[in-house]
Amino acid sequence: MNDMTNKWIGQRTIRPDGAEKVTGRAAYAADTTMPGMIWGKVLRSPHAHAVIRSIDTAKAEALPGVKAVVTRADIVDFPLDKPVMLGIQDMRWMSRNVMAREKALFHGHPVAAVAATSESIAAEALRLIEVEYEVLPHVIEIDDALRPDAPILHDFLRFEGKPSNIAGKLEHKLGNIEAGFAEADVVIERSFTTRPVHQGYIEPHACLVSVAADGKTTIWSSSQGQFMVRAMTALLTGLPQSDIRAIPAEIGGGFGGKTIIYLEPLATLLSKKSGRPVKMVMSREEVMRASGPTSGSKSTVKIGATRDGRLVAAQGTFWLQAGALPGSPIRGAAGCGFAPYTIPNVVATGFDVVSNRSKVAAYRAPGAPIGAYAVECVIDEVAEALGMDPLELRLKNAARQGTKAAHGPVYPRIGFMETIEAAQAHPHYNTPLGEAPAGRLRGRGVASGFWFNAGGESSAQVNITEDGNVVVTTGHPDIGGSRASIANITAELLGIDYKRVSVLIGDTATIGYSNLTGGSRVLFASAMVVTQSAEKVITSLKERAAKIWKIDPEAVAWENGEARPVSENAGRFPPLSLAELAARATETGGPIGAGVQLNTTGAEGGFATHLCDVEVDVDLGIVRVLRYTSFQDVGRAVHPSYVEGQMQGGAAQGIGWALNEEYIYDRQGRVENAGFLDYRMPVCSDLPMLDAVMIEVPNPKHPQGVRGVGEVPLVPPLAAVANAVHDALGKRFYALPMSPPRVLERLEG
């Protein structure tokens, strides 16, 4: 872990999968084909809420070229009375999300699927399926869903004994909230709303599935977890997991949105029925209508502080949209908002609210940006009321080693204060905003954020090739450069050039169970299993050298990719290189390699502080980010470029969330902007350079000091931008996005 002695950890090496990606050769799911392949398509509900009385597929099945049709009758159902959990997902809801059962619950909800010999025949067949609907009143917004006369989505949901659209509640409590507020000199309470936003991965969901005559099934798909694909598909189709081989294609972005499945069980059933490999690819419109965005929200946050700037009480209530089926990320919203601070008295409550929208999916630190938006905006107001610098207030109350967080843990060594101090000392914070051109106003905002991070199950296999190079296999789809980091770590441990290490992602048949790429866990967890595997390999290499030299294995050291005697006393032998030992593997005990499978623990939380400068055009209402700097405790930057990349990408997504992105619904409950033209994500010309300052406070519970870095970057930006807009205009916004029409409205109001 000592920087001075590291040769590869911390180096900006070339990623192992890079050349294939810049030449267009990398195989993503939609690029995969098979002989005899046919095309699957999904029929989707044209109504936001409707009972499905009947589905008649006869005409579609009679169309020449149609090979199979599946409906709700083909998907495994689960009794509603008890949860069927797979990780954090309840398969009762997943089954109903993949295919509508009694009711269509949102516009775009799958109702049937067909497979045909061409895409156009499949599309034609969809038009021939006759579905009889009984249209019901629908509800989209939280406030409407909570009204006493609201249409109830699910008869089986009860809240406080009554039928309700509230699907769940979570509460964190610390100290005595009344006593805390009684101690406060300043109390600020505000209410906020945010709109649902999509993860916006550029690659639509896609899969190719082949079910052979004996039931052996191969799935190539775009997902954040091949084992998740296998398990969920098995549960929804009734196939045993041992019959399913799920192969992770290269993934074109996920950001949490590919931690669940949509197409795989449908394609599997279609392939089983037709006897042909079936390919399914969503259109962008389908992605926007029917794959999960993250929740829209409303929240109220109240914070009390003493005159000298001590935060003494904090209360937050967060209502999150789940979409049509339960499961919004209230844990992230209620758990993360106050987590960066030492506040003795806290109550944080989250409510999970269903309505006739597509079911939400994880999006980078699920829920945390929503919680942090409200909390960090109120902290900004508290600082203003106290006449304190907003970073100074944060520093004074920053969580540190020993702080007890309301969501449970007592923090070990963390680097949150360091992120604030780095921001204070950075040229960005110390450079005046400068004169804005006529008709424009400038402002600067700050905000901080926290994300839990995760450990969990991982497997790795490290094998030495016969010519003395290394192949590492892990079980996590690489979504942003994790293979590059694993190459660095393996090279470091074995003392060889990183180019001699090849890193592969195994499929469900070739590597042990590994949990999702999610929770910022991949490098944390895979580095642990790779490290332990490499250590076993080194032990074996030393034993082999000892055998050749006929000395005790204890007397052999592994240095710079070679075995050598620990000292002259052990004997005088020329060193044996990895290549030499590999060449003599057969005589010294056989193939050299080791695998480790673990349930990893010790992924400690991550913290960041962001600075944002904006310029607002007061005539057009356009907010432009002029300068943006993120400061994050990254634990250990094993490959700094890809750590910075996470920080920059998260900041850009947060800026989009703050300024432009939102789902817009019409009166019939249909998404009106289901495409990239009208769902406006930041393009290159919208953004400035995004500075990323990595602060390395190594995680004491990890061999390389790694902390998760992928999700924290999306937590602070919403409030950082909002606080900057306030600084520019002198007016506060309590709703996102701060899009041009909203800004103009606020300026006039």
Partner 1 sequence: MAKIHVTTTVNGEPVEFLCEPQQSMLDVLRGPLGLTGSKEGCGSGDCGACSITLDGRLICSCLMLAVEAEGHEIGTIEGMASGDGLHPLQQKFLEMAALQCGICTPGVLIAARALLEKNPDPTETEVRFGLAGNLCRCTGYDKIVRAVLETAAEMRGAKAEMPEAVR
Closest separation in Å from C-beta 648 to partner 1:
4
Angle between helices 264-274 and 226-237 (to 10 degrees): 60
B/e letters for 110-140, b = 16+ CB within 10 Å, e = fewer, are bbbbbbbbeeebbebbbebbebebeebebbb
Stretch that binds partner 1, among 7-15, 72-80, 97-105, 155-163 (CB under 8 A): 7-15
**DSSP string covering 435-459, please?**
PPPTTEEEEEEEEEEEE----EEEE
Closest separation in Å from C-beta 679 to ligand FES:
13
727, 648 Cβ separation under 8 angstroms: no
Angle in degrees, CA 388, 393, 398, rounded to 5: 175
Q: Which does 737 bind (CB under 5 to 8 A by kind): ligand FES, partner 1, none?
A: none
Total residues contacting partner 1 by CB under 8 A comes to 68
Each residue 260-289 as x (binds partner 1 by CB under 8 A) or -, in order, gives ---------------------x-xx-----
Indicate which single residue of 46, 151, 168, 253 sits in contact with partner 1 (rule: CB under 8 A). 253
- Phi/psi at 346 (nearest 5 deg)? -140, 140
Distance CA 458, CA 598 (A): 6
Q: Which does 162 bind (CB under 5 to 8 A by kind): partner 1, ligand FES, none?
A: none
Binding of partner 1 by 641 (CB under 8 A): yes
562, 577 Cβ separation under 8 angstroms: yes
Binding of partner 1 by 423 (CB under 8 A): no
Indicate which single residue of 30, 60, 231, 246 sits in contact with partner 1 (rule: CB under 8 A). 30
Each residue 234-253 as x (binds ligand FES by CB under 6 A) or -, in order, gives -------------------x
Closest separation in Å from C-beta 189 to ligand FES:
40
669, 108 Cβ separation under 8 angstroms: no
Binding of partner 1 by 12 (CB under 8 A): yes
Stretch that binds partner 1, among 326-334, 460-468, 645-653, 658-666 (CB under 8 A): 645-653
Closest separation in Å from C-beta 224 to ligand FES:
14
Partners of 104 in beta bridges: 50
For residue 391, count other CB atoms closer than 10 A to its CB: 20
Closest separation in Å from C-beta 461 to partner 1:
24
Binding of partner 1 by 557 (CB under 8 A): no
Indicate which single residue of 202, 212, 385, 664 sits in contact with ligand FES (rule: CB under 6 A). 202
For residue 183, count other CB atoms closer than 10 A to its CB: 16
Q: Which does 26 bind (CB under 5 to 8 A by kind): partner 1, ligand FES, none?
A: partner 1
Binding of partner 1 by 65 (CB under 8 A): no
Q: Among residues 452 and 642, whose Cβ is nearest to partner 1?
A: 642
Binding of partner 1 by 577 (CB under 8 A): no
Give the C-alpha distances (Å, rounded to integers) separating 703 from 2, 360, 553, 681: 11, 35, 24, 38
70, 42 Cβ separation under 8 angstroms: no
Distance CA 239, CA 261 (A): 16
Closest separation in Å from C-beta 676 to ligand FES:
7
Indicate which single residue of 675, 732, 740, 747 sits in contact with partner 1 (rule: CB under 8 A). 675
Written as six digits, the tokens of 255 are 């950001």
H-helix or E-strand containing 374?
Answer: helix 368-386
Binding of partner 1 by 613 (CB under 8 A): yes
Written as six digits, the tokens of 705 are 């000091």
Binding of partner 1 by 21 (CB under 8 A): yes
Residue with tokens 């920053």, as numbered in its chain: 398
Binding of partner 1 by 31 (CB under 8 A): yes
Closest separation in Å from C-beta 428 to partner 1:
7
Closest separation in Å from C-beta 717 to ligand FES:
18
Binding of partner 1 by 664 (CB under 8 A): no
Binding of ligand FES by 175 (CB under 6 A): no
Binding of ligand FES by 27 (CB under 6 A): no
Stretch that binds partner 1, among 153-161, 321-329, 473-481, 575-583 (CB under 8 A): 473-481
Stretch that binds partner 1, among 46-54, 253-261, 443-451, 550-558 (CB under 8 A): 253-261
Q: Among residues 472 and 674, whose Cβ is nearest to partner 1?
A: 674
Distance CA 416, CA 241 (A): 43
Binding of ligand FES by 595 (CB under 6 A): no
Cβ partners under 8 Å of residue 162, min gap 6: none
Coil/strand/helix, residue 45: coil
Q: Which residue is nearest to ligand FES (CB)?
A: 202
Q: Among residues 30 and 375, whose Cβ is nearest to partner 1?
A: 30
Residues 706-745 contacting partner 1, CB under 8 A: none
Q: Among residues 65 and 561, whose Cβ is nearest to partner 1?
A: 65
Indicate which single residue of 180, 196, 204, 512 sits in contact with partner 1 (rule: CB under 8 A). 204
Binding of ligand FES by 20 (CB under 6 A): no
For residue 253, count other CB atoms closer than 10 A to its CB: 16
Where are any strands of DSSP class E within 282-344?
297-305, 311-323
Distance CA 176, CA 316 (A): 14
Stretch that binds partner 1, among 93-101, 345-353, 476-484, 563-571 (CB under 8 A): 476-484
Binding of ligand FES by 18 (CB under 6 A): no
Cβ partners under 8 Å of residue 678, min gap 6: 664, 672
Residue with tokens 């993120």, as numbered in its chain: 630
**DSSP string covering 329-363, please?**
-HHHHHHHTTTTB--SEEEEEEEEEE-SSPPP---
Written as six digits, the tokens of 340 are 């960066």
Closest separation in Å from C-beta 714 to partner 1:
11
**What type of residue sits at position 551?**
I
| C-alpha dihedral, 246 to 250 to 252 to 254, nearest 10° | 40
Residues that bind ligand FES (CB under 6 A): 202, 253
Residues that bind partner 1 (CB under 8 A): 12, 14-15, 17-19, 21-28, 30-31, 199-204, 250-255, 281, 283-284, 428, 431, 434, 479-481, 613, 615, 626-629, 639, 641-642, 644-645, 648-653, 675-677, 681-685, 687-692
